[in-house]
Amino acid sequence: MKSIKGLTGAETVLRCLRRMGVERIFASPGSEWAALWEALAQRYAPGEIPEYLSARHEETAVAMALGYAKATGKLPAVVIHTTVGSLHGTMAMRQALHERVPMVVLAGESIGFGEVDERDPGPQWHRVLADIGGPARLVAPCVKWSFGINVPEIVPDTIQRACQIASASPRGPVFVSVPMEHLFATMTKEAPAAAIPRLAHADADSIKEIAAALIAARHPVIVTEDIGESTQAVTHLVGLAERLGAPVVEAWHPSFVSFPRTHPLYAGGGRTEHVAAYLKKADFALLIDCKLPWHPPSNNPNPKCRFAAIGEDPFYQHTPYLGSPSHLVAAGSTEHTIARLAALVSRAIPAEARAAEIKRWGKLHAARRAATLADLHASGALDVIDTRWVAHELNAVLPADAMVVNETITHRPVLAQGLTRIEPGHYFESTLGGLGMGTGVALGVKAAFPERPVILTIGDGSFNYNPIPGAFGVCQEHKMPILVILFDNAGYLSQKSDIATHFPQGKAVRTKTFTGTSIAPRPNYAMLMQAFGGYGEQVDKPADVRAALQRGLDAIAKGQAALLDMRLAPINGDA
């Protein structure tokens, strides 16, 4: 490794990030990063510094890092503008915090305000960009750790330490404010040795206790939301479930595919009442990376059931309230805990010992899937396009290597039931906490797997929250084609549903006056993609859906981003 001493602060940032394993920088910086751009103009050996990928909006840049990290498990860095850019990116940082996605976010700052010779950032810093405490203070509630570098001598250690903190259990985003004055400075100290920590493992006795309870249970049930982050963990889960003969239910908001959807023990999920139905008959339930097994938290469907919670952060320390029971707990790497549980249970329960249970569950689940598929197929006979039909047709043409990112709310349960061919490691949710990041997450997944087709399913409400020009500009500039499937019902169905839920006999329902829920008149969304050299198509008839999907897939295979505007029935009949 080249010595840090004698380098500029900007060169040091690049080299320290690469030393810590960072391969990608996603960026949407401001004028205070001139020293970094100068450093990037120099020649480097392959792999000597991270690859720099420029986005056009801070939220897109952070969301790209989010998608990239979820898809690869690698630590990314982000470079954004000072206070204003940092605030743009905080919603994506908050999602990374709650999803335990590690990343290092760097923002610029000026601490000299032009009083440092030859380092004048301009009068705009006094007028519009400076805040007391700097961007580190503004961002702090949305990240795991936030710090503003106060002297140039600590730049190397701070960058390396930020990578360590982001990667330590529980993982999450960290934020470092790097004053532009320090980027120009010459480093006088070498960077200390620094290693990325491994994820902590759960206590061995806790794992043994949970294994014993699973072995003794007569009616075990497994509930998970996020184990699908690791495909190896899913493999261990399949083995564990088969030895136990236990159904695996996905809770309300799974961020990944956590179990093969055609496996006999896959019990479906996506709705709290569905999870509750399985728990009512259980005597022991294993909650794996599961934040919300039912709702409200006090509404335990089976008080006689014992619960074990396992995961990297089973207490969800960034959530103000949980309220669900945990009689046994194993806090640590989920992959390690599941592997140990599977091994212990396999020693105690012979293979095929629970074959009858697997067969029984398999019949039940096959019947449920058949009924769901029949319903999806029947929706093709409607006069207008229905979400169920799009799910049916997409499932039919979905390439085996496709990566799917979802940013729908009301359509999500139908897509989860209909896309049975998606394997673990090929699905990424982008609706945790806030909408507006789906395009960025999809582009991050594309950056991780440029050779694979990446498909974004998104509602028109979510689409309007996204910084679309910036995201589509990334598609065009960096030749990163994604297929956007837009579920266009001309409104915010979740908001309309809330009115009917809380005021079923209210005036809004009686007069059909649903203020603020329509997106009307309907835009020609297809033209937005065309403006950036992509393929755009409006689809109006159910009979045209499959052919349109194939045209979209063909377009991205040729290197052209695509958007298919699936025109559903308007929620208020006014578009």
pLDDT tens digits along 11-62: 999 999 999 999 999 999 888 899 999 999 999 999 999 999 999 999 999 9
Give the whole-angstrom CA distance, residue 491 versus residue 560: 28
Angstrom distances, CA of residue 355 to CA of 350, 351, 362, 366, 368: 10, 8, 10, 16, 20
Answer for the pair 88, 57: CB distance below 8 angstroms, yes or no. Answer: yes
| Torsion (CA) 353, 356, 359, 365 in degrees, nearest 10 | -100
Query: What is the pLDDT at residue 425?
Result: 95
Instruction: Return the closest-CA partner of residue 192 out of 166, 154, 231.
Output: 154
Q: Is 521 helix (H, G, I), strand (E, B) or coil?
A: coil
Give pTM, 2 decimals: 0.95
In the chain, CATH 3.40.50.1220 covers 204-365
Classify 382-567 by CATH class: alpha beta
Q: Please report which helix (H) or strand (E) contains residue 341, including its range.
A: helix 334-348
Helices marked H in 168-230 — which ranges? 180-184, 204-216
> What residues does CATH 3.40.50.970 cover in the chain?
9-184, 382-567
pLDDT in tens, the chain (575 residues): 678 889 999 999 999 999 999 999 999 988 889 999 999 999 999 999 999 999 999 999 999 999 999 999 999 999 999 999 999 999 999 999 999 999 999 999 888 887 876 677 777 777 777 888 899 999 999 999 999 999 999 999 999 999 999 999 999 999 999 999 999 999 998 889 999 999 999 999 999 999 999 999 999 999 999 999 999 999 999 999 999 999 999 998 889 999 999 999 999 987 888 899 999 999 999 999 998 888 898 889 999 999 999 999 999 999 999 888 899 999 999 999 999 999 999 999 999 999 999 999 999 999 999 999 999 999 999 999 999 999 999 999 999 999 999 999 989 999 988 999 999 999 999 988 789 999 999 999 999 999 999 999 999 999 999 999 999 999 999 999 999 999 999 888 888 888 888 998 888 888 888 888 888 999 999 999 999 999 999 999 999 999 999 999 999 999 999 999 999 999 898 66
- Tell me the torsion sign for CA atoms 152, 158, 163, 166: negative
Q: Residue 317: its pLDDT value, please?
A: 92
Whether CATH 3.40.50.1220 fits 204-365: yes
CB 221 within 8 A of CB 268: no
- In the prediction, which pLDDT does 248 show? 97
**Radius of gyration for the alpha carbons in the chain, expressed in angstroms and rounded:** 25
Distances (CA, A) of 3 to 16, 51, 159, 483, 524: 10, 20, 15, 44, 55
CATH: 1.10.150.20, 3.40.50.720, 1.20.120.530, 3.40.50.970. Which one for 9-184? 3.40.50.970
Say what the pLDDT of residue 475 is.
Answer: 97
pLDDT of res. 249: 96
